[in-house]
Amino acid sequence: MKTIGLIGGMSWRSTLEYYRIINELVGERLGGYHSAKIILHSVDFDEILRFQGDWKRLGEMLAEIAKRLEFCGADLILICTNTMHKVADYVQEAIDVPLLNIIDVTAEEIKKAGLEVVGILGTKFTMEDEFYREGLRRYGIKALIPDEEDRKTVHRIIFEELCFGVFKESSKEKLKGIVERLRKDGAEGVVLACTELPLILSQEEFEIPLFDTTRIHAEYAVSFALKG
């Protein structure tokens, strides 16, 4: 079994989900008392938020962490958040082991589902900057984003509620309304492009497919770790 390196803490609540899902999947596939080999570097999220916008600085910070994980024996690196994949290429260039890109593996799942148009829910950086939409576009997938007011709502719910473990029914209903508006605009599915969003939204509540990026990322990491 290969060792998975996690860059977590953004936020720690979603990093918990990575740890849980990865270990559960390894246990299911190998049986017995098996669990995953994981090295976790959990950042102080406040330090990351302070520099959001200075992407060069953040790229350097995450690259240094990735190099430490590689030095400690990680065979694969995951950045446990969607937004910071804005600097994923910079991080990959700094290490010799693979960085499993959350956008690439999510695109693979969208293609498997036979979809060509999806909506994106995430932080304002993920929704508004081109890196996520461009990443999906490379796979022939068109990405729709909510209107400005809905984008503000999603961003606020993520940072003012979900990152603090606050899950309001009223906020869930607002998010469901945003998903419905994306569907009406032509989205065949919706990407939960923030690792906190699966903490409040689940597939059972929707008719169109939701792509849980946390679980998808974790599943591909396990497949890599157990390969061969």
Mean pLDDT of 10-14: 96
Q: Enumerate the active-site residues.
A: 81, 194
Asked if residue 97 has pLDDT above 70, the reply is yes
* Proportion of the chain above pLDDT 90, given as a percent: 99
28-42 mean pLDDT: 98
Which CATH entry fits the domain spanning 4-101+216-226: 3.30.1360.230, 3.90.228.20, 3.20.20.220, 3.40.50.1860?
A: 3.40.50.1860
178-197: burial string, b at 16+ Cβ within 10 Å, e else? bbeebbeeebbbbbbbbbbb
CB 18 within 8 A of CB 212: no
- Domains 4-101+216-226 and 103-211 equal at CATH topology level: yes
Helix boundaries (H) for 5-129? 12-30, 45-50, 55-71, 88-94, 102-112, 124-128
CATH number for the domain formed by residue range(s) 103-211: 3.40.50.1860
For 58-90, what is each residue's pLDDT tens digit?
A: 999 999 999 999 999 999 999 999 999 999 999
Residue 149 tokens read as 């007011």
User: Domains of the chain: which residue ranges?
Assistant: 4-101+216-226, 103-211
Q: Say yes or no to pLDDT of 228 above 80.
A: no
Span 46-65, mean pLDDT? 95
Residues 177-207: tens digit of each pLDDT? 999 999 999 999 999 999 999 999 999 999 9
Q: Tens digit of pLDDT for each residue in 213-225?
A: 999 999 999 999 9
Could you tell me if 210 and 174 are in contact, meaning their C-beta atoms sit under 8 angstroms apart?
no
